[in-house]
Amino acid sequence: MSLASDIGAARGRRKPQRALRPQREGAVLKSGIGGRYAPYLCIFPALAMSLSFIGFPLAQTAWYSLHAWDGISAPEWRGLQNYAQVLASANFQQALQNVGVLLVFFCIIPVSAGLVTAAIISRRKLPGMGFFRSVLFLPQVIALVVTGMAWRWMYSFEGVINQILTAVGLEDYTRIWLGDFDWALLAVGLVMTWVASGFSMVLFLSGIARIDSSLYDAARIDGAGPVAEFFAVTLPGVKQELGVAVTITLVGGLRAFDVVYVTTAGGPGTATTVPAFEIYVTAFRDQAVGQAAAMAVLLTAMILAAVLILRRIMGMK
């Protein structure tokens, strides 16, 4: 799934706060309306689909992870051995390390760059802003497979990146970016920065636009410069957007698959492999379903932990 779906997920994830609170405002139709069974009939289709295709398979993944299985013959109980093997495997360790680096490019850089640039851009309505917003958001709607393919050419030996480097006199730095052991991960990371930055900027621009302008006036009367104004007014004003942006990009980065699959297939060697790609390869190429499932459980646990920790930090209930 593209980042857009993560946005959705993270966006929706905020809703439960309201869900878990006692729901006085929703209790409009107390009883009798549509009969006793109407509520259950209404939720049944969605719930059944969610349980059959997400809830139940999730339990199965956990069950697989405790077995040795090639996908064909009878599964064999292994307890926690799969986890021990996966955690000790060089490929998975490399994948974890790589995903850590990619988070810098998919989360930290886009969010901070988006925040700072959005803060610099005048809070007035700029003519042509609609056009820029459309363009900045474009990477969100294009399939990551297409994005990855576009960047393959950007990075190829005669590609645009090398041409630009040559044009500014840096021809010594030209290389086949995606095939270079030292640079491939950085190159993949920049693709992810390309995907996430515009989104984060648009998110912060709309957040800043909703800050009460009297707060800025007050800060100016108090003699605040641009930097003080940023920390006193802008940053607190976009706290929610910050939480959303970090959650979405962090989860999206942890589960990165499409871009890696298309640009490098994890290579050269394992230089750009990520956990999601290891799951895919281990299960469907190596037929080690149990180990792949253990990786999937670990990845899911990381994503859940990241979301929970973020909510705590960002003060979301």
Partner 1 sequence: MRRANLNLTVSYAILGLAALAILLPLYSILVVAISPQSAPAIGLGLPADPQWSNFAAAWAQGNFGVLIKNSTVIAVSVVAVAVVFSVLSGFAFSMMEFPGKRLLFLPLLVGLVLPFEAVILPLYYNLRALGLTDSPLGVILPEVGLYVAFGTLWMRAVFAGVSREIVEAARIDGANAMQLLWIVLIPMCRPAITTLVVLFFLWSWNEFLVSLVILQDPLQRTAPAGLGAFVGEYLTNVPLLAAGAIYVALPVVIVYFFLQRYIIEGLTQGAVKG
Q: How far apart are CA 59 and CA 217, in angstroms?
A: 55
Q: How far apart are CA 270 and CA 277, in angstroms?
A: 10
Buried b (16+ CB within 10 A) or exposed e, 144-161: beebbebbbebbeeebeb
Applying the rule CB under 8 A, the residues between 244 and 273 that interact with partner 1 are: 244, 251, 255, 257-258, 261-262
Give every CB contact of residue 296 below 8 A, 6+ residues apart in sequence.
61, 65, 279
Candidate list 70, 101, 132, 229; residue touching partner 1; CB under 8 A? 132
90 lines the binding site for partner 1 (CB under 8 A): no
- Binding segment toward partner 1, per CB under 8 A, in 18-26, 82-90, 104-112, 171-179: 18-26
284 lines the binding site for partner 1 (CB under 8 A): yes
CB-wise, 189 or 198, nearer to partner 1?
A: 198
105 lines the binding site for partner 1 (CB under 8 A): no
100 lines the binding site for partner 1 (CB under 8 A): no
CB-wise, 185 or 262, nearer to partner 1?
A: 262
Nearest to 138 by CA among 189, 196, 188, 190: 196
38 lines the binding site for partner 1 (CB under 8 A): yes
Measured CA to CA in angstroms, residue 155 lies from 116, 171, 253 at distances of 28, 14, 21
Candidate list 101, 104, 108, 149; residue touching partner 1; CB under 8 A? 149
Decide if 176 contacts 155 (C-beta within 8 A).
yes
CB-wise, 218 or 220, nearer to partner 1?
A: 220
137 lines the binding site for partner 1 (CB under 8 A): yes
283 lines the binding site for partner 1 (CB under 8 A): yes
